[in-house]
Each structure stands twice: as structure tokens, then as C-alpha cells.
Amino acid sequence: MTPNHARRRLAVGAAATLSLLAGTFAAGVPAAQAETVPGGRATLEGTAPEWTSGAADAGATSGTTQVSARVYLAGRDAQGLTAYATAVSDPNSSSFGKYLTPAQAEERFGASPQQVAAVTAWLKSAGLTVTGSDRHYVSVTGDAAAVQKAFATPLHDYRKDGRTFHAPAHAASAPRELADAVLTVTGLDNAPHRAKPQDTLPGPGEGFRNAGPFSTYFGSNTATTLPDAYGGKVPYAIHGYTGRQLRAAYGAGGYTGKGVTVAITDAYASPTMAADAAAYAKRNGDQAYRKGQYSEVLPSAYTSVDDCGASGWYGEESLDVEAVHAVAPDADIVYVGAASCNDPDLLDALNKIVDSRLADIVSNSWGDIEANETSDTAAAYDRTFKLGAIEGIGFYFSSGDDGDEVANTGKKQVDTPANSAWVTAVGGTSLAVGQGDKYQFETGWGVQKSVLAADGKSWTNFPGTFTGGAGGGVSSTVKQPFYQHGVVPDAMAKAGGSTRMRTVPDIAAVADSNTGFLVGQTQSWPDGSVSYDEYRIGGTSLAAPVIAGVQALAQQARHFPIGFANPGIYARYGSPLFHDVTDQPLGAGREIAVARVDFANSTDASGGLTTSVRSLGKDSSLSAVRGYDEVTGVGSPAPGYVASYAFPFFRR
């Protein structure tokens, strides 16, 4: 399976800028939006999507058009929540590690019954029908006329990418007396806002197998019959690393994640996940699951099954669960499935974790490009991440699989929610584990592919074309958080102007499918049979659960929740606790490549074979260099990283 497939990346839209100044985040309101808000109203920031400025205005939306929306609640003390989430995560703060229980968090920062009642009354008075509510939001439906009355903004139709969508013509607003109760409103536009696969992984309807030959460890099997690359013979790609090899590479030592719970969120749920995970562990030498170690929290019903390609999420789930267990074999794993790949359902899954504190660490391998982000939805996600932070829960998101995104979108940009200042963005590497499970080196994950020429004597257009690499770069919407000060070079953080912005990723682990992980899954085959099989996979959707597993080991060492990890990660920057990954770890001018042989039809040799050479350490315009970089962040965990959490606070 190649690494450059479509991703489960969440489409959430871009407008107002978030910043971290003096320890707090502040949302900016464009002057043009503020001018359109009637007197006695408070602007709901980011509710006028930026994409409308580049679309054709087709006029007012019909007043009978039906709209479904969510009004997210700000809670009792929105500014206090931000300040406490910052303090409890900052090792230099006197409040560091003083986490709250879900009940304490709800009592201190949750919406009061009076706020919920007032918001509900306002929405009903405008003619909207309240369809549900919980501690996070009030959901409503109604026609466009009622929506326009409630939020004091006209809805217009816009032509975009050959389709017509409705959206607010300017920022929505709420009555001023409700300004402290309402965070934002989502759903006023109906442009697609849904997650996509990090990698289009094989589902039950589409099986996949690797062809081989393989290496059992990096460099164990040299492709002697294939043409030279970079002046010599290259090894075959590995069959797929196992947990034993990854634990050795990232310094697990004797830690196993005992006493720690890792949650995994994806859309839907593979019906064979528990059986597949058990079979994988048995076949690959991982510790067997004890009773109750793996559990699932699922919605009562699923929606958007066709639009989201539900079965395509099963392989992602297999990868996430099996990678976490391989790295942290004693950690409990709870899979929390969303009802669909749409933002509201993914948020519901995350909120389930926070509301009941189902886990200490949350691994997420989904999202989308920043250009698709709307700041109203980003604000709702950030509130969830902050609530998690004050409870000692850390969220980890894959950084993306298309490098700087130029080849994919024509625009250099980062991915989201990895761009949030409240999550740990996980970048990717190409990993070489040698004989005896010995760590050899890593490059930044970025691959160029060249296929074997027809005469078998050379590589066509060597080194070939870019096929995928770790996502990274500088956000255009999120200002630089305090933990990146003094670590991310100004030349990088200010790449888009004079203001320091959030830079992605924060940390990294193996992601290259050519040095990827072996995963097991029940799949359907062309002959109609259904059976379990294993294949090699990569992507930052591998790196995220690997880092989640490593953090479970670190939390075991600490004997206390790590919570939002970034301040502690950056405090360790520049120390031997990280592998400082570069694109040429063997020395200047020494390029690295592997050979691959694949089934042309993805399942067997009946359709022929394709042979290629994959050059490593070539991630679009991004480079892994000494120090912090936009491919691997501060680097990958080295021996000593996990054990360093046994100390109260590490200072470099």
C-alpha cells in the first residue's frame, strides 16, 4: 500500500485568527464583519466562511430552504477555561498538573442551566425548532427565513467548484445579553465539512496484499538483480515493522503502558476489529489482549454511510488499534466511533471522551487542509481540546500525507486540526531498524518514485515523482503558541508575514509505507472470499498512534497523566531525548532509497508486477534539518525520552 492516498482529514473552514498571547487565546473579528452586526447584537466570530469571497454570489437563498445548525455554548467562564488549560499544561506554572475531574470541569466551566434556557428561548422565539441539546450545544432546524431572523444575517447561494452552496453573507450574531453564553454557531453554510481518510486503506470490499521480495529488517535483502540507484544496489522495502522493532527504535525499555488508557477516534466501526486485533497480536508476537483491555463506545446509529465511504474507515481503525497495542501492550484501548465522518459527529465522539474522561491519551488520524477550515468549527474543537487539557487528557493528530500540500491543492498550507495550538501534531519519518532491532537512522518522510524501465536496465525519470510525505508548515490562521517561542526559528514562523504563527508538526515517528508497519485486517477478495490477511502500511495515520503509544509509556513512567503534552515536549527540545532527524542521516550527498515490487492489481500476480525504486528524505518543498523542522518537529523519541517523564519536570 503506497502512502500517497486520500486522507481522513477533517474539512472545517477558515476565517477568524486564533492567537496565544500572554497565555490566552484571543479571536479576532474582521472589521468588515463587525460593521454588519446590528446594534444590540454580539458577533459570532468566524461564521462568514472565507470561501464565499472566491465564489460567485448567486443571490439570496430561498426562505423555505431547510437549515440544520448547532449553537455551541461558551460555558460559564470561557476566558477562565483558556487560562486554566494553559496553566495546568505549563511546567513553569504553579497550577501545572492540577487537573480537574469532569464533574469539577463542568461545574466551573460548563454552561449553566440558565444559559441553556436563555439560548433555547432565543432560538425558539425566532421560529427555529430545537432538536436536541447537551452540555456543549443546542441543535436546531428551520427554514432560511427563521435562521436569518435568529442570527441577523442574510443567507446567499454561492457557486463554488461547480456546485451551489448557501452560506451567511456576513458574520452571524446573537443578542448581546447572550454574548457570554454563546461560543459560535455551525451549520449555517452547507459546503462539505467532513473528514476523509489519511490513507485510502483497504476495506472489506477491497483487499490488498504486498508482493515482495522484502527485507525483514532495513537492509537485510539487497536488490542485486535491479539497476543501481545513487551509485549502488539498494535494499528491498521491509515486510512491515512489528511492535518489537518499533519499541526498540523509540526506547520503550521495560515500560508497557500499564495503567494508561488510550482512546482512538474514527468514523464508524469495523465489525471484526476485536478479532482482527487478537489475531494480529498472536501472529506477530505481541502480548495477548487481557479480558476487557479493548473496548468500544459506539453511537446508536450511523449516518452518511455512502458519502463517507464507511467501510474505508475499517483499515484505519485496524492500523490505529494494532499500532497502539504493539507499542504499549499493557495500555487499555477504547475505540470511540463517530456516527459519521461529519464534524458534528466527530466532535460528539471527542466530547464523549472528555465528558466521561474515558482516556488519558487520544489518537486521531483524520482531518483536512487548512483552507477548508472554518473558524466557527475550529472554535468548537478547541473548546473540547481545552476541556481535555484541564482534565489531563492529551489529543494527538496526524499532520497529513501530502507534504506542503502544493501538489495536492496548488497552495502551500498545513492540515487541520493538527494546526490547533491545543493538540500535538505528529509528523512522519522513514525509519531504518537494523539487525537485532537496532535503531540505525531516520529521514524525514518524503518519497520520490521511479519505475523500472521496460528493458529492466534503468529507472525511468530517476529519481521520479513525489508520491507523499509528512505534512507540515506554517499556519495562516493560528498564532504561535507560547511553547514554540525560542524553538521554532523566526524565519520559519514568520514565513507568511511579520507575525509568528503556529508551525506544524510538534513531534514525529515512522510514517513512510516503505518502512511502514505490518497491519492485519479481515478483507474481501476478488474470488468472493472474506478472510484475515496482513499488509504493510504507512502515513502519518501510523505516526499518530505510534506516538500515542510512546506517550502511554511515558505516562506510566510519570505515574500521573501527561495531559496536553506540547509544553513538556518542547521543554525537552535540543536534548539527547530526541533523534534529531535529517534528510541525509548518513552524511551529505549520501542518498537513501529502497526497491519495491507490487502486485499491479493489489492482490495477486495474475495482473502482473510493478517494480520501482523509492528515494527517501524528499518531502515536497519541506526539509528535515538540524534542529526544529517542518517535517519532524523537534524529532522522534530517542532512548531516555520515556524514562525522562519519571522526573517531576525536565529542563534542558
Q: What is the DSSP string of 198-264?
A: SS----TTS--------BSSTTSSB-TTSPPBTTB--BBPBS-B-HHHHHHHTT-TT---TT-EEEE
195-212 pLDDT tens trace: 654 443 334 557 899 999
Residue 209 lies in a domain: no
User: What is the pLDDT, as a whole number, of residue 363?
Assistant: 98
Residue 228 lies in a domain: no
Q: Are 154 and 266 in the same domain? A: no
**Measured between alpha carbons, how far is 329 from 257 in angstroms, rounded to an integer?**
7
Q: Which of 142, 171, 197 corresponds to the end of one domain?
A: 197
Residue 191 lies in a domain: yes
Q: Are 520 and 627 in the same domain? A: yes
- Report whether 339 contacts 302 (CB < 8 A): yes
Q: What is the mean pLDDT of residues 614-633?
A: 97
Q: Are 177 and 305 in the same domain? A: no
501-527 pLDDT tens trace: 999 999 999 999 999 999 999 998 999
DSSP-assigned letters across all residues of 142-186: EEHHHHHHHHT--EEEEEETTEEEEEESS--EEEGGGTTTEEEEE
Residue 215 lies in a domain: no
Residue 10 pLDDT more than 50? Answer: no
Report the DSSP beta bridge partners of residue 158. Answer: 57, 165
Residue 586 lies in a domain: yes
Q: What is the CATH number of the domain that holds 361?
A: 3.40.50.200
Report the DSSP beta bridge partners of residue 9. Answer: 367
Q: Are 313 and 184 in the same domain? A: no
Q: Are 156 and 285 in the same domain? A: no
User: What is the pLDDT, as a whole number, of residue 160?
Assistant: 83
User: What is the pLDDT, as a whole number, of residue 26?
Assistant: 32
Residue 4 pLDDT more than 70? Answer: no
Q: Out of 33-47, 79-93, 230-244, which region has the weakest mean confidence (pLDDT)?
A: 33-47
pTM of the model: 0.92
Residue 67 pLDDT more than 80? Answer: yes
Residue 35 — pLDDT band, cuts 50, 70, 90? low
Q: What is the mean pLDDT of residues 183-206?
A: 68
User: What is the pLDDT, as a whole number, of residue 48?
Assistant: 84
Residue 471 lies in a domain: yes
Q: Are 253 and 381 in the same domain? A: yes
Residue 649 lies in a domain: no
Of all residues in the chain, the percent with pLDDT exceeding 70 is 92
Q: Which of 197, 232, 260 corresponds to the end of one domain?
A: 197
Q: Which of 143, 178, 197 corresponds to the end of one domain?
A: 197
36 or 482, which is more confident = 482
Q: Are 142 and 249 in the same domain? A: no
Q: Are 251 and 184 in the same domain? A: no
Q: At what angle do helices 375-390 and 343-355 cross, to 10 degrees?
A: 10
Q: What is the mean pLDDT of residues 126-143?
A: 96
Nearest Cα to Cα of residue 251 among 471, 425, 437: 437
Q: What is the DSSP letter of 401?
A: S
Q: Are 276 and 188 in the same domain? A: no
H or E element that contains 24: strand 24-27
Q: Are 281 and 185 in the same domain? A: no
For residue 225, give every residue at least 6 positions away whose Cβ sits within 8 Å of its Cβ, in sequence order, or none. none
User: What is the pLDDT, as a whole number, of residue 162?
Assistant: 86
Q: Are 412 and 478 in the same domain? A: yes
User: What is the pLDDT, as a whole number, of residue 7?
Assistant: 39
Q: Are 250 and 125 in the same domain? A: no
Q: How many domains does the chain have?
A: 2
Residue 261 lies in a domain: yes
User: What is the pLDDT, as a whole number, of residue 46?
Assistant: 82
- Report whether 121 contacts 115 (CB < 8 A): no
365-405 pLDDT tens trace: 999 899 888 889 999 999 999 999 999 999 999 999 999 99
User: What is the pLDDT, as a whole number, of residue 463?
Assistant: 97
Q: Out of 5-19, 477-491, 593-607, which region has the weakest mean confidence (pLDDT)?
A: 5-19
Nearest Cα to Cα of residue 515 among 444, 452, 450, 582: 444
Tell me the residue range of the domain where 62 lies: 18-197
User: What is the pLDDT, as a whole number, of residue 102?
Assistant: 97
